[in-house]
Amino acid sequence: MIHYHCRHCEIELGTLPLKLAKKVLPFITKIEDEEEGERFLTYEEDGSLTVHTICEQCEQTLQQSPHYYVLEKWLQ
Ligand SMILES: [Zn+2]
């Protein structure tokens, strides 16, 4: 399974069965190519993959108050 979690509030946004992974693999590969890829992807021991993304609510919060984002990062 591929699990989508918000990396700010940890809410689960959804899951995808691995058989659908081919559809999202180009997207995942793109992330892995980036320097911060490891922060967005976690390979679990059972073979599943966790994608750390951002939910709509947090995205709105970040857009409205960037300082909140800095604080969140600092707390982690
Ligand atoms: Zn969130």
DSSP string, the chain: -EEEEETTT--EEEEE-GGGHHHHHHHHHHHHHSTTHHHHEEE-TTS-EEEEE--HHHHHHHHH-HHHHHHHHHH-
Predicted TM-score (pTM) of the model is: 0.61
More confident residue, 45 or 65: 45
Q: Radius of gyration (Cα) for the chain, nearest Å?
A: 13
What per-residue confidence (pLDDT) applies to 6? 92
pLDDT tens per residue across span 49-73 = 888 888 999 888 888 876 665 555 5
Residues lying with their CB under 5 A of ligand 1, a single-atom ion: 6, 8-9, 55, 58
How far is the centre of ligand 1, averaged over its atoms, from the C-alpha of 62 (Å)? 10
Given a cut of 70, whether residue 8 has pLDDT beyond it is yes
At residue 37's C-alpha, the angle toward residues 11 and 59, to 5°, is 40
What per-residue confidence (pLDDT) applies to 25? 65
How far is the centre of ligand 1, averaged over its atoms, from the C-alpha of 65 (Å)? 14
What per-residue confidence (pLDDT) applies to 32? 62
- The one-letter code for the residue type at 56 is E
